[in-house]
Structures are given as C-alpha cells and as structure tokens.
Structure 1
Amino acid sequence: MKDTIVEKIHEIEREHLVKVLFAVESGSRAWGFPSRDSDYDVRFVYIHKPEWYLSIDEKRDVIEVPINDMLDINGWDIRKALKLFRKSNPPLLEWLVSDIHYYEAYGFKEEMLHLRDRVFSPRASVHHYLNMAKGNFREYLQGEQVKIKKYFYVLRPILACKWIEKYNTNPPILFQDLVHELVTEPELKAAIEDLLRRKIAGEELNLEKRVDVINDFIEKEIAYLTEFSNSTQTDMNDPTDLLDQLYRKYLKVVWNFG
C-alpha cells in the first residue's frame, strides 16, 4: 500500500502543481488500534509555487482526493498548516509524530518538530481532546447496548488529556503507550486490553453490552477533566515571526524563490 500512496502523492503534485513536504498516516492505524479492514487515513502538507500566494484573492488551501474503500487522503497548504500550528492544532501535532511515514522532502517536518514545544498549548489541546471524548461518549456509549469499538475513540482522548495534566507536553500518538503509562487499575486495564486485542484481531465490535468498568472510568474522568480544563493556562511567546521565517525559507528551498 505504501507504494500506492507514494504514487498518489506524486500524482497530486503533478495535477495541482505543488510539492508535498510530508505525508503520514493518521487515524486508527497511527493510533495503534486498526482493524483488519481499516482504511488508510493519509494526511499531508504541501506548498504551491510562489506566484500562487501573490494574489489579491483568497484561494482554497486544502487538497482532497475522492475517498475509496481503502484510501482517505487529503492535505493542507503550508500557510494553512503553519497558521494551525501557531494555534497548537492537535491533529497537526499528531501528524508530526506519526510512526507511519509515507513521504518526506526538504526537511520541513523536522523543522516543525523542533518548534512544536514553542507552540504547544495545554489549554487548546485539552479542550480539543475533551470535546472529542464528550461527543463520542454522548453519541455512541449510552444505554445498555453500545457501539463497543467506539470506546477507543473516547478512551484515547481522555488519556491524552491525562497525559497533558501529568507531563504538560504533547501526548504520544500510540494508544498503547497512553494505557501503559496512565491506566494502573487492574480490572480497567484488563478490560481495555481485551477490547484492543479483539479489535486488532478483526472481531466485529458492533453493538454489545456496555463494559461497566470502562463506562464508570469515562464518566468520572470527563467530570474531572472538565474542571481541569477550566484551570489550564497558556503562557507562551507569539511564534508568528518564527513561522513566517519558516514559510519564507521553504518557498526559497523548494522553488528557489527570492
């Protein structure tokens, strides 16, 4: 599949007259709990030729490829990516640490990695992950019969919040790392690990009886983290100048501009 994805990246470059700076896996494969039939969620950052930016009109800054059964691929323009990076956008920060790399060029991703501590906002990240957990819990995990695979899409953001509370840093992308570090209660850990084993093995995890020990943990942590999120602070210097320099640098590096 990697060869297919790289071929698609080059096709996007030709069709849209851009250069892709990096492409990685996002979603369940990157998070460590894919099913056998999980699709590939490819995310990338790209850069247009300089004249594209020299316009009085705003232009579309996203490239989206029609989704098929196995491949979901889309990307952000460098300027959009850096604006979101400035806001400590959690999905983008996850792209930077994804262990599944498809394509990298020009060293841009490494430079972003060096700067991520300068832009990291605990408050923004906690709010993002907590809202994700609340939404998925409300949508999928109410009642006696629940969509049991959705536990992962609630547990992971909760554990990401707990990592931020404990370490005040970006959480790791792998679900297993979060569980290992943050889940200590034996019954809860056993229940989570059993669901994880079943999901990765390809069992159909649709409607089943709720797992009370997991639901109880989620309800308690959502209440606690809601209070915690209101107390988080963000004290950081404005990184705009640094990101402007990075943007200009890569216009030069990629297109020999200026």
Structure 2
Amino acid sequence: MNEIIRKKLIEIEEKFQVKVLYAVESGSRAWGFPSKDSDYDIRFIYIHQPEWYLSIDPQGIGTKRDVIEVPINDLLDISGWEITKALQLFRKSNPPLLEWLRSDIIYFQSYSFIDKLRSLESEVFYPNASLYHYLNMAKNNYREYLQGSEVKIKKYFYVLRPVLACKWIEEYKNVPPIDFHELLKNMIPEGKLKNEVEHLLKRKIIGDELDIEPRINVINDFLESEMIRLEEYIKTLTVEIDDPTKKLDDLFRYTLKEVWG
C-alpha cells in the first residue's frame, strides 16, 4: 500500500506542478485503533513553484486554491495543504496539523521543512486552542452518538480520544500524542474503567466496531464528569505566546529556495 500511496503523491506533483514536502497517515491507523476495513487517511503539505506566489492575487482566493483534494475511493482519502496555509494554521496551534507532525506512519518526507517546523512547535503551542478543539469534538460526538441507551462501539473512541488529549495537555502542558494507546496508558489509572476501555479497544480492532450494544455506564460516567471538569479548567487557563510570524515567514522563504533553487 505504501507504494500505491507514493505513486498517488507523484501523480499529484505532476498534475499540479508542486512538490510534496510531507505526507502521513492521520486517521484511525495513526491513532492506533484501525479496524480490518479501515481506509487510509493521507494528509500532506506541498509547495508551489515561486511564480505561483509572485502574483497580484493571494493564495487561497479564487482559482488559487490552497488545498489539493483527490476524489475519495473505498480505500484512499488523500488531501493536502499548501505550505503557507499550513504555516498560518501552525501559527494558530492548529491541533490536526500538530497531530500530522506526530504521526508515526510517514509515507513521504523531503527537504528540511518538517524538521525545522517541529523545532518551532514549543514556541507556537497554545494550549487553549487545543483544549477547545478537543473538548468541543468530545462534546459534539458525545451528544450525537453516546446519549442513547444503546450505542455503537466505535463511537466511544471519538469521545475518549479527545477527552484524554485534553487531560494530557492539562497534565504535561504540551502537544498530546496521536497514538491512543499512549494516551490510555498515561491518562487512565489501572482499574475498572481502564479494563473496560482496553476490552472495547480489542473488540474494535478485530472488527466489532459497528455492533450496537447497551451503553457502558462506567465509561459514560467518566466522560460526562471529565467534560464538565475540563470546561471549567479551560476558563482558568491564561497563556501568552510570542508572535512567531517572522520565523514562519523565514521558514517559508528558505523552503521555497531549498526546493526550487
């Protein structure tokens, strides 16, 4: 599959006249709980030739789109962000982008861009942005999927993962790992709750994820109490960071020269 993905990335480079800088897995495979029929969620960052940037119309407007999206099929979901879009989102401490940087499944990486970007992570990480992102994700998914008397197994993980990510940020004050197993290991102590989650995780991986069953009260109670507590915690958090724009501008210009000469 890696070769198929790399071939798709080469096709994208040729079709759009860009260079792919970084491509990773971002979905359940990167999170550590794929099922036997999980698709591949590939996300990438790319850069255009200098002439594309030297025009009177800014990127992201009109025909100068700042995303590339490949038609989704049953197996592959591929989309990418143009480098300046990625850097603007990095400046805002965008959680999905920070997750890309932590993915253990890297399909392609070239030039020095990603290593330099990672070196700036501690300067841009804004915990409030990530906490709001993950908490809103957890609340929305809980409200939509887990309030009935019966639920689908897989939906628990779409609430558990963001709640545990919030707890990680609260505890360690840095970007949470993308891997669910690491979050589970560090954020839930040994006991009944952890046993239930681990059992659920095993069932999801072997393919029981679409089963509809009675809700698991110990997990629901944990999620409800944590979401209430985290909402109050966020209100008390005040963090200021220096504006990283100049460093990100420099990184963009350096990468443009490194890639295209």
TM over 0.5: yes
**8 Å CA contact 1:21, 1:46 repeated in 2:** yes
TM-aligned CA deviation for residue 233 of structure 1: 1.9
1: distance between equivalents of 2:111 and 2:188? Answer: 39
**8 Å CA contact 1:9, 1:20 repeated in 2:** yes
Question: In the alignment, which residue of structure 2 is the partner of 1:197?
Answer: 202
2: distance between equivalents of 1:162 and 1:63? Answer: 33
User: Counterpart amino acid of 1:172?
Assistant: P
CA RMSD of aligned residues (A): 0.8
Deviates more, 1:67-76 or 1:205-214: 205-214
TM norm structure 1: 0.98
Unaligned runs of 5+ in 1: none
2: distance between equivalents of 1:222 and 1:191? Answer: 19
**8 Å CA contact 1:141, 1:148 repeated in 2:** no
SS in 1 for 2:177: coil
User: Counterpart amino acid of 2:145?
Assistant: Y
Question: In the alignment, which residue of structure 1 is the partner of 2:165?
Answer: 160
> Which of 210, 213, 232 is matched with 2:237 structurally?
232
Deviations 1:100-127 (A, max 9, x none): 0000000211111111111100000000
1: distance between equivalents of 2:40 and 2:144? Answer: 24
Question: In the alignment, which residue of structure 2 is the partner of 1:27?
Answer: 27
Runs of 4+ in 1 over 4 A off after TM superposition: none
TM-aligned CA deviation for residue 204 of structure 1: 4.1
TM-aligned CA deviation for residue 159 of structure 1: 0.4
SS in 1 for 2:242: coil
**8 Å CA contact 2:135, 2:162 repeated in 1:** yes
Unaligned runs of 5+ in 2: none
**8 Å CA contact 1:122, 1:233 repeated in 2:** no
TM norm structure 2: 0.96
2: distance between equivalents of 1:231 and 1:147? Answer: 34
1:101 equivalent to 2:106? Answer yes
2: distance between equivalents of 1:226 and 1:185? Answer: 25
Deviations 1:193-228 (A, max 9, x none): 001001111224332110000000000001001101
**8 Å CA contact 2:35, 2:207 repeated in 1:** yes
Kindly tell me the number of residue pairs found equivalent between the two proteins. 256
Question: In the alignment, which residue of structure 1 is the partner of 2:92?
Answer: 87
2: distance between equivalents of 1:36 and 1:169? Answer: 32
**8 Å CA contact 2:23, 2:42 repeated in 1:** yes
**8 Å CA contact 1:39, 1:70 repeated in 2:** yes
